[in-house]
Structure 1
Protein backbone atom coordinates (compact mmCIF):
# COMPACT_ATOMS: atom_id res chain seq x y z
CA UNK A 1 0.00 0.00 0.00
CA UNK A 2 1.13 3.51 -0.65
CA UNK A 3 -0.30 5.12 2.50
CA UNK A 4 2.43 5.68 5.12
CA UNK A 5 -0.02 5.02 7.97
CA UNK A 6 -0.99 1.71 6.36
CA UNK A 7 2.67 0.68 6.06
CA UNK A 8 3.27 1.58 9.73
CA UNK A 9 0.21 -0.48 10.66
CA UNK A 10 1.48 -3.44 8.59
CA UNK A 11 4.82 -3.21 10.44
CA UNK A 12 2.99 -3.02 13.78
CA UNK A 13 0.90 -6.09 12.97
CA UNK A 14 4.01 -8.05 11.94
CA UNK A 15 5.87 -7.00 15.12
CA UNK A 16 2.90 -7.93 17.30
CA UNK A 17 2.64 -11.33 15.62
CA UNK A 18 6.32 -11.93 16.40
CA UNK A 19 5.92 -10.76 19.99
CA UNK A 20 2.56 -12.22 21.03
CA UNK A 21 1.42 -14.55 18.27
CA UNK A 22 -2.22 -14.49 17.27
CA UNK A 23 -3.67 -12.30 20.02
CA UNK A 24 -7.14 -12.22 18.53
CA UNK A 25 -8.74 -9.01 19.84
CA UNK A 26 -5.90 -6.61 19.10
CA UNK A 27 -5.02 -8.42 15.89
CA UNK A 28 -8.57 -8.30 14.54
CA UNK A 29 -8.83 -4.59 15.34
CA UNK A 30 -5.55 -3.91 13.52
CA UNK A 31 -6.60 -5.94 10.47
CA UNK A 32 -9.94 -4.09 10.37
CA UNK A 33 -8.06 -0.79 10.52
CA UNK A 34 -5.72 -1.93 7.73
CA UNK A 35 -8.80 -2.85 5.69
CA UNK A 36 -10.04 0.75 5.92
CA UNK A 37 -6.81 1.90 4.23
CA UNK A 38 -7.38 -0.65 1.47
CA UNK A 39 -10.92 0.69 1.07
CA UNK A 40 -9.58 4.26 0.78
CA UNK A 41 -7.09 3.15 -1.87
CA UNK A 42 -9.82 1.18 -3.65
CA UNK A 43 -8.03 -2.17 -3.72
CA UNK A 44 -10.96 -4.64 -3.71
CA UNK A 45 -8.77 -7.77 -3.57
CA UNK A 46 -7.02 -6.60 -0.38
CA UNK A 47 -10.31 -5.43 1.15
CA UNK A 48 -11.82 -8.89 0.59
CA UNK A 49 -8.75 -10.83 1.74
CA UNK A 50 -8.46 -8.79 4.94
CA UNK A 51 -12.18 -9.20 5.71
CA UNK A 52 -11.99 -12.96 5.12
CA UNK A 53 -8.84 -13.07 7.26
CA UNK A 54 -10.30 -11.39 10.34
CA UNK A 55 -13.55 -13.35 10.00
CA UNK A 56 -11.50 -16.57 9.82
CA UNK A 57 -9.53 -15.58 12.94
CA UNK A 58 -12.74 -14.64 14.79
CA UNK A 59 -14.31 -18.00 13.94
CA UNK A 60 -11.25 -20.17 14.63
CA UNK A 61 -9.24 -18.18 17.21
CA UNK A 62 -6.26 -18.84 14.93
CA UNK A 63 -5.20 -18.61 11.28
CA UNK A 64 -5.57 -22.11 9.89
CA UNK A 65 -4.58 -21.44 6.26
CA UNK A 66 -1.12 -22.87 5.54
CA UNK A 67 1.58 -20.66 4.07
CA UNK A 68 1.59 -20.74 0.28
CA UNK A 69 4.18 -22.94 -1.37
CA UNK A 70 6.39 -21.92 -4.26
CA UNK A 71 5.91 -24.63 -6.87
CA UNK A 72 9.10 -23.56 -8.67
CA UNK A 73 11.49 -24.14 -5.78
CA UNK A 74 11.28 -27.47 -3.98
CA UNK A 75 13.89 -26.52 -1.37
CA UNK A 76 11.97 -23.38 -0.51
CA UNK A 77 8.74 -25.37 -0.34
CA UNK A 78 10.36 -27.83 2.07
CA UNK A 79 11.64 -24.96 4.21
CA UNK A 80 8.18 -23.40 4.22
CA UNK A 81 6.61 -26.66 5.38
CA UNK A 82 8.79 -26.51 8.48
CA UNK A 83 7.83 -22.89 9.16
CA UNK A 84 4.17 -23.20 8.19
CA UNK A 85 2.75 -22.13 11.50
CA UNK A 86 -0.41 -20.04 11.73
CA UNK A 87 1.71 -17.02 12.71
CA UNK A 88 4.13 -17.45 9.78
CA UNK A 89 1.31 -17.86 7.28
CA UNK A 90 -0.56 -14.82 8.62
CA UNK A 91 2.65 -12.76 8.64
CA UNK A 92 3.21 -13.67 5.00
CA UNK A 93 -0.35 -12.68 4.06
CA UNK A 94 -0.09 -9.32 5.85
CA UNK A 95 3.36 -8.66 4.33
CA UNK A 96 1.91 -9.22 0.84
CA UNK A 97 -0.31 -6.16 1.29
CA UNK A 98 2.72 -3.92 1.67
CA UNK A 99 3.70 -3.93 -2.02
CA UNK A 100 0.70 -4.19 -4.30
CA UNK A 101 2.73 -3.27 -7.39
CA UNK A 102 4.37 -6.71 -7.26
CA UNK A 103 2.43 -9.11 -9.49
CA UNK A 104 3.50 -12.11 -7.40
CA UNK A 105 2.04 -10.49 -4.28
CA UNK A 106 -1.28 -9.98 -6.07
CA UNK A 107 -1.21 -13.58 -7.29
CA UNK A 108 -0.52 -14.87 -3.76
CA UNK A 109 -3.28 -12.66 -2.32
CA UNK A 110 -5.71 -14.17 -4.86
CA UNK A 111 -4.62 -17.64 -3.78
CA UNK A 112 -5.15 -16.77 -0.09
CA UNK A 113 -8.59 -15.41 -1.00
CA UNK A 114 -9.52 -18.72 -2.66
CA UNK A 115 -8.21 -20.73 0.30
CA UNK A 116 -10.08 -18.56 2.81
CA UNK A 117 -13.31 -18.76 0.83
CA UNK A 118 -13.00 -22.56 0.53
CA UNK A 119 -12.19 -23.08 4.23
Structure 2
Protein backbone atom coordinates (compact mmCIF):
# COMPACT_ATOMS: atom_id res chain seq x y z
CA UNK A 1 0.00 0.00 0.00
CA UNK A 2 1.20 3.45 -0.76
CA UNK A 3 -0.84 5.39 1.80
CA UNK A 4 1.45 6.62 4.60
CA UNK A 5 -1.30 6.21 7.20
CA UNK A 6 -1.84 2.63 6.06
CA UNK A 7 1.88 1.87 6.42
CA UNK A 8 1.87 3.37 9.94
CA UNK A 9 -1.17 1.29 10.80
CA UNK A 10 0.52 -1.88 9.47
CA UNK A 11 3.49 -1.15 11.75
CA UNK A 12 1.14 -0.57 14.70
CA UNK A 13 -0.70 -3.84 14.05
CA UNK A 14 2.58 -5.76 13.92
CA UNK A 15 3.74 -4.21 17.22
CA UNK A 16 0.38 -4.85 18.90
CA UNK A 17 0.47 -8.51 17.80
CA UNK A 18 3.83 -8.87 19.56
CA UNK A 19 2.43 -7.29 22.73
CA UNK A 20 -1.09 -8.70 23.03
CA UNK A 21 -1.57 -11.30 20.31
CA UNK A 22 -5.22 -11.64 19.32
CA UNK A 23 -6.60 -10.60 22.72
CA UNK A 24 -7.23 -6.99 21.80
CA UNK A 25 -10.43 -5.57 20.34
CA UNK A 26 -8.17 -2.81 19.07
CA UNK A 27 -6.64 -5.32 16.66
CA UNK A 28 -9.99 -5.93 14.94
CA UNK A 29 -10.65 -2.18 14.77
CA UNK A 30 -7.19 -1.60 13.27
CA UNK A 31 -7.73 -4.31 10.66
CA UNK A 32 -11.07 -2.75 9.72
CA UNK A 33 -9.42 0.66 9.43
CA UNK A 34 -6.66 -0.81 7.26
CA UNK A 35 -9.39 -2.30 5.09
CA UNK A 36 -10.86 1.17 4.53
CA UNK A 37 -7.48 2.34 3.19
CA UNK A 38 -7.48 -0.62 0.80
CA UNK A 39 -11.01 0.32 -0.29
CA UNK A 40 -9.90 3.91 -0.94
CA UNK A 41 -6.95 2.67 -3.01
CA UNK A 42 -9.21 0.18 -4.79
CA UNK A 43 -7.22 -2.97 -3.99
CA UNK A 44 -9.94 -5.66 -3.99
CA UNK A 45 -7.62 -8.55 -3.04
CA UNK A 46 -6.48 -6.77 0.12
CA UNK A 47 -10.04 -5.69 0.95
CA UNK A 48 -11.21 -9.31 0.72
CA UNK A 49 -8.27 -10.80 2.65
CA UNK A 50 -8.63 -8.28 5.48
CA UNK A 51 -12.38 -8.86 5.77
CA UNK A 52 -11.94 -12.64 5.80
CA UNK A 53 -9.12 -12.25 8.34
CA UNK A 54 -10.97 -10.14 10.87
CA UNK A 55 -14.05 -12.34 10.56
CA UNK A 56 -11.84 -15.38 11.17
CA UNK A 57 -10.20 -13.75 14.21
CA UNK A 58 -13.57 -12.64 15.61
CA UNK A 59 -14.98 -16.16 15.24
CA UNK A 60 -11.93 -18.04 16.55
CA UNK A 61 -10.12 -15.51 18.77
CA UNK A 62 -7.01 -16.57 16.87
CA UNK A 63 -5.73 -17.03 13.33
CA UNK A 64 -5.63 -20.68 12.28
CA UNK A 65 -4.40 -20.15 8.73
CA UNK A 66 -0.77 -21.21 8.31
CA UNK A 67 1.79 -19.38 6.19
CA UNK A 68 1.63 -20.67 2.61
CA UNK A 69 4.70 -22.63 1.58
CA UNK A 70 6.93 -21.43 -1.25
CA UNK A 71 6.26 -24.68 -3.08
CA UNK A 72 3.82 -24.64 -5.97
CA UNK A 73 0.17 -25.59 -5.60
CA UNK A 74 -0.40 -29.34 -5.65
CA UNK A 75 -2.13 -31.04 -8.60
CA UNK A 76 -5.31 -31.49 -6.55
CA UNK A 77 -5.46 -27.72 -5.89
CA UNK A 78 -4.24 -27.84 -2.29
CA UNK A 79 -1.58 -25.46 -1.04
CA UNK A 80 1.36 -26.68 1.01
CA UNK A 81 1.74 -24.75 4.27
CA UNK A 82 4.45 -24.32 6.88
CA UNK A 83 4.15 -24.90 10.62
CA UNK A 84 4.00 -21.55 12.39
CA UNK A 85 2.16 -19.95 15.27
CA UNK A 86 -1.06 -18.05 14.59
CA UNK A 87 0.61 -14.74 15.45
CA UNK A 88 3.54 -15.43 13.10
CA UNK A 89 1.20 -16.30 10.27
CA UNK A 90 -0.98 -13.23 10.74
CA UNK A 91 2.07 -10.96 11.06
CA UNK A 92 3.31 -12.38 7.76
CA UNK A 93 -0.06 -11.72 6.11
CA UNK A 94 -0.10 -8.11 7.34
CA UNK A 95 3.49 -7.53 6.25
CA UNK A 96 2.59 -8.72 2.72
CA UNK A 97 0.10 -5.88 2.44
CA UNK A 98 2.86 -3.33 3.01
CA UNK A 99 4.52 -4.14 -0.33
CA UNK A 100 2.06 -5.02 -3.06
CA UNK A 101 4.58 -4.26 -5.80
CA UNK A 102 6.20 -7.62 -5.08
CA UNK A 103 4.52 -10.35 -7.17
CA UNK A 104 5.36 -12.99 -4.54
CA UNK A 105 3.46 -10.99 -1.92
CA UNK A 106 0.39 -10.78 -4.15
CA UNK A 107 0.61 -14.53 -4.85
CA UNK A 108 0.82 -15.28 -1.11
CA UNK A 109 -2.16 -12.98 -0.43
CA UNK A 110 -4.16 -14.94 -3.01
CA UNK A 111 -3.21 -18.16 -1.24
CA UNK A 112 -4.29 -16.70 2.11
CA UNK A 113 -7.59 -15.66 0.51
CA UNK A 114 -8.15 -19.18 -0.77
CA UNK A 115 -7.19 -20.78 2.55
CA UNK A 116 -9.50 -18.42 4.46
CA UNK A 117 -12.36 -19.17 2.08
CA UNK A 118 -11.87 -22.92 2.59
CA UNK A 119 -11.53 -22.74 6.38
After TM superposition, the score normalised by the length of structure 2 is: 0.89
Which residue of structure 2 aligns with residue 42 of structure 1? 42
Aligned pairs, number? 111
1:20-31 matches, within 5 Å, as 20-31=20-31
1:1-119 matches, within 5 Å, as 1-71=1-71, 81=83, 84-119=84-119
Query: 1:25 offset after TM fit, Å?
Result: 1.0
Query: 1:69 offset after TM fit, Å?
Result: 1.5
For 2:68 and 2:111, locate their aligned partners in 1 and report how far apart those are by CA, in whole Å. 8
After TM superposition, the score normalised by the length of structure 1 is: 0.89
Query: 1:20 offset after TM fit, Å?
Result: 1.2
Query: 1:24 offset after TM fit, Å?
Result: 4.0
Query: 1:23 offset after TM fit, Å?
Result: 2.1
Residues 24 and 57 of structure 1 are in contact (CA less than 8 Å); yes or no, is this contact kept in structure 2? no
Say which structure is richer in helix. 1
CA RMSD across the alignment: 1.4
Structure 1: unaligned runs, 5 residues or longer? none
* Greater than 3 Å deviation, 4+ residue runs: none
